[in-house]
Amino acid sequence: MLKDLRDWIALLEREGELVRISAEVDPDLEITEIVDRVVKAGGPALLFENPKGAEHPLLINQFGTERRMALAFGVDSLDDVAAKVSDVLEMQPPEGLMQKVQGLRKLKSIADSRPKTVKKGVCQEIVLTGDDVDLTKLPILRCWPGDPAPFITLPAVITHDPNSGVRNVGMYRMQVIDKRSTFMHWQIHKDGRADALATDGKIEVAVALGLDPITAYSASAPLPKHIDEFMMAGYFRGESVELVKGVTVGIEVPAHAEIVLEGYIEKGELGEEGPFGDHTGYYTAAELFPIFHVTALTMRKDAIYPSIIVGKPPQEDAGLAKATERIFLPAVRMTLPEVVDYDLPVAGTFHNMAIVSIKKQYPGHAAKVMHALWGLGMLSLTKCVIVVDANVDVHDYQQVAFYAGANVDPKRDVILSEGPLDHLDHAPERQFYGGKLGIDATAKWPEEGARPWPEEIEMSAEIKDLVTRRWSEYGL
Ligand SMILES: Cc1cc2nc3c(=O)[nH]c(=O)nc-3n(C[C@H](O)[C@H](O)[C@H](O)COP(=O)(O)O)c2cc1C
Ligand SMILES: [Mn+2]
């Protein structure tokens, strides 16, 4: 189990997955260009030891490959993490002693996943409050040439629902305004924003930077609002996230964080945030967002600042998003057991396209699945859904394109609907709301208005075996 960011860095280093850069490098754009090249080449995590003008090293590209995501979760493949989710979601009343013991073990691991409060945390080795707070000492990146300021891009933003008290942890970028304040870019569909809107005026906020990789990931996970992301992190870690009371806020913060920002947001106090070179591949337009006032900056000695670059895909955030795709498949299947698999193409920036394979059982089944996805959590923001039959590998885009062409009569098999769209989608006429496209690329049935469906070409097993046996004789 990785306790903190330093354990993680040590593991990355042992695995040959991290390179230290001692040259002085500018957090203003220069790091972006380096990281962009390294990410696109499938390269290592980078620890910049000497960011220009800053007092702290910067870690980036920790999540940039599938291998590192698997290392982060301590698994061979992210499907193993999904299996751990199925374990909980599909728990059945046990039969016999063996199953009862296994069931108890599962229940215990759920019970143990609850965050634990501790008295002291290394995240408070250094405490700066009031005028001593100075965000400019952190190597915060200005990511793209059109960005007006540096942005904190890998935060875990902690709030509590003022009515239920339930904690929320979200990853929302924070544009630096001055030494002691930033914007808080929580978008319209997000939980942190809902917490803030539910207050009478002021909401306390804490921001953790530099966490073990599972806890950091959890901030980006699209959990239902009433579920605490730190609890999910504890479940996947197999050990609770340890929390310590904030110095100036009534919020508990991860005890092992490198850096913590504590502060508050006043509901009515907004300012113009952005533009920002975003994961959509475009600059998202400047827009009004709340201002976060920092009342305390606490940190470990020699704190390491974590960052991530988003931009035209593929970028490092694909690692986090692919983890979500895999981990949440069992949750999708809870509502839609007919779903075999799904793929959110990286190039589709995750909300633009979903490809889903189903065990088709009745006429119109593909349409049912489209409408269900358009009503399911954050997947409801998906602009285009392509449905294929169970035998199609949704991750093989050649296959998908083949069936989307071969099996589709655009007049009969395309559904145009409408609904909520991603906050950052610049294409619709109105922000937040617009069209949806569903493409039914399954084989059609007579009840769906199809003529007799032809047979797909496939070589006989007999001839395949024969050729395999004789392969060496052909001299190929
Ligand atoms: C690198 C990165 C940056 C993100 N930036 C933002 C952001 O600025 N605003 C936002 O609303 N969501 C952002 N997200 C997506 C949210 O983190 C994600 O929707 C998460 O589920 C939000 O938590 P919540 O569901 O508790 O609101 C970002 C995700 C990643 C991986
Ligand atoms: Mn949440």
Residue closest by Cα to atom 21 of ligand 1: 222
pTM of model > 0.85: yes
Confidence of residue 90 (pLDDT cuts 50, 70, 90): confident
- What is the structure's pLDDT at 452? 96
Confidence of residue 474 (pLDDT cuts 50, 70, 90): very high
Measured in angstroms, how far is the CA atom of residue 230 from the centroid of ligand 2?
10
Nearest to 329 by CA among 123, 120, 82, 144: 82
Quick check: 410 and 427 in contact, CB under 8 A?
no
Name residue 268's amino acid. G
Q: Is 39 in the pocket of ligand 1 (CB under 6 A)?
A: no
Pocket test for ligand 1, best of 141, 153, 154, 172 (most atoms within 8 A of CB): 172
Contacts of 18 (CB under 8 A, 6+ apart): 9, 12, 44, 45, 46, 47
362 CB neighbour count, 10 Å cutoff: 10
Q: Is 308 in the pocket of ligand 1 (CB under 6 A)?
A: yes
Kindly state the tokens that stand for 454: 């032809």
Residue 89, Ramachandran bin (φ over 0: left; ψ between -120 and 50: alpha; else beta): alpha
Known catalytic residue at 413: no
- pLDDT tens across 215-225, in order? 999 999 999 99
Catalytic residue among 4, 36, 212, 278: 278
Mean pLDDT of the chain: 97
Measured in angstroms, how far is the CA atom of residue 289 from the centroid of ligand 2?
19
Estimate to the nearest angstrom the gap between the alpha carbon of 218 and the chain centroid. 8
Q: Is 220 in the pocket of ligand 1 (CB under 6 A)?
A: yes
Residue 252 parent element (H or E): strand 252-254
- pLDDT tens across 228-278, in order? 999 999 999 999 999 999 999 999 999 999 999 999 999 999 999 999 999
Percent of the chain at pLDDT exceeding 90: 93
Nearest to 35 by CA among 331, 6, 44: 44
- pLDDT tens across 152-190, in order? 999 999 999 999 999 999 999 999 999 999 999 999 999
**SS3 (DSSP) at 263:** strand
For the stretch 63-70, contacts whose Cβ atoms lie closer than 8 Å and that sit 24 or more positions apart, written own/partner, are: 63/213, 63/217, 63/308, 63/316, 63/317, 63/319, 63/320, 63/323, 64/38, 64/39, 64/316, 64/318, 64/319, 65/319, 66/319, 66/322, 67/17, 68/12, 68/17, 68/319, 69/319, 69/320, 69/322, 69/323
